[in-house]
Chains A and B, each alone.
Chain A
Amino acid sequence: MNLLALLKRELALAWGRGGGPLLACAFYLAMAALVPLASSPSPERLAAFAPGSAWLALALASLLSLERLFERDFEDGALDLLVLSPAPLELVCAVKCLAQWLAAGAPLALMAPFISIALGADPRLAPLILAVSLIGGLGFAFTGGLGAALALGARRGGVLIAAIVLPLFAAPVIFGGGAIEAFSAGLGWTSGLTLLAAYSLAAVALCPFAMAGACRNALS
């Protein structure tokens, strides 16, 4: 009941003023539009790395709204209130990341197949790209939350978050990209997807403990 109220509030805050998710989606679209300009507009060459570029751009776009995840609640004192509740702080952090995934990760994931196809990817890849983006996005939201919690109280937290989180994105980017690459080459792609799912589940299971520790440290 309480945690549901928190989830609703987090979603309302994410969708409220400032339009965080829309901003991330616009950023994603703009990055994708730059890919053919930066490399080659020829359809054959573009098609070869279209899914990979779409996947990488998604990973970067999911960094965008992380700064607000804990920072705002920390600055205005709402984090105090969130701690002073019967719910464990670990669960509070997990709910915040879940809301981040629902509000920002899911819209980005829905865009990913369209962006890949627009860049020239094989339309048969669309379902796999959607699955990879949804599953990977969950991992991005939780590892991103870890970076956001660790950067609490730092000036220019956004850059710090990117510096903390991007190295942690290496594994899921490889697994997801590998699955898409294998599928388009007609090879077995399930192992890549399974590893990606394993990474995301591990992030969901472990990151809340680290986030709660980082929040307690920032508040003390």
Chain B
Amino acid sequence: MIAALTIEALALARGGRVLFEGLNLGLSAGEAVALAGPNGSGKTSLLRAIAGFLRPAAGSVGFSGADGTLDPEEARGRGLHLVGHQDGLKPGRTAIEELTFQAVWTGGTRDSALDALQAMELGGAAGLEVRMLSAGQRRRLALARLIASPRPLWLLDEPMAPLDAARRIRFGEVMAAHLKSGGLILAAVHDDLPVPARRAEIPA
């Protein structure tokens, strides 16, 4: 599974405008990188390019495992989580229904979904429809997917924006546990990550 992410000389363009060029970034197991840059600098686009949604204008994104280079399609399909501004949760379904589907779809189980719900302190909201949840609860439900189906590479886009102080600390513990077990985290943030992280700036 993914043990390292290598980005070489990456350039991204959106709508004919070059967002950035010549981005080099490496990430290896157990490491967290906080991606910084002003609004509109291309943080979200970078995360989407790594997840394979955007085609780079130049350069490459590569994944490697313990035994060498991985097929990118395979690595993305089995090895990474992307949690962005849009959480993909359906307002009319209950929290547990949505999390169970997301967990099973990405390689977890019904039981792991229940455990993740407890870990994110959402046990009491399990039976509520997603539209009843607060912004913070919704985000925790989206983040619960990270725990419910173990995948090594986490791509997080402003993951903690709606979380309160106590829940930020809690999520910091979750991230620390993930890094300890050999996970990789790349997070676009404006504040500091609650775990020791290397800072990477998007080149202007």
Contact = CB atoms under 8 A, between A and B. Distances in A.
Contacts of A73: 88
Interface of B is mostly: loop
B92 A2 contact: no
B104 A76 contact: no
A12 B129 CA distance: 14
Contact of B106 (A13, A76, A84, A220): A84
B77 A80 contact: no
Identify whether the interface residues of A are mostly helix, strand, loop, or mixed.
helix
A167 interface: no
Given A2-B104, A5-B104, A77-B84, A83 B53 contact: yes
Contacts of A87: 77
A204 B52 CA distance: 26
A148 B60 CA distance: 32
Contact of B84 (A13, A16, A80, A85): A80
Contacts of B107: 86
Interface string B87-106: 11110110001000110111
Contact of A78 (B52, B77, B90): B90
Interface residues of B, number: 28
Interface string A206-220: 000000000010011
Contacts of A220: 53-55
B76 interface: yes
A16 B93 contact: yes
A77 B53 contact: no
Contacts of B102: 81
B185 interface: no
A78 B88 contact: yes
Contacts of B54: 220
Given A84-B80, A220-B55, A77 B101 contact: no
Contact of B77 (A17, A75, A84): A84
B105 A2 contact: yes
Given A80-B51, A80-B84, A84-B106, A9 B101 contact: yes
Interface in B52-67: 52-55
Interface of A: 1-2, 5-6, 9, 12-13, 16-17, 72-73, 75-87, 216, 219-220
Given A78-B90, A86-B78, 7 more contacts: A75-B86, A77-B88, A78-B89, A80-B84, A81-B88, A84-B81, A220-B54
A-B pairs, top 8 by smallest CB distance, nearest first, are A77-B86, A78-B88, A17-B92, A77-B88, A86-B77, A5-B104, A81-B88, A219-B53
11 contacts: A2-B105, A12-B93, A13-B92, A76-B88, A76-B90, A78-B90, A81-B106, A85-B106, A86-B74, A86-B107, A216-B53
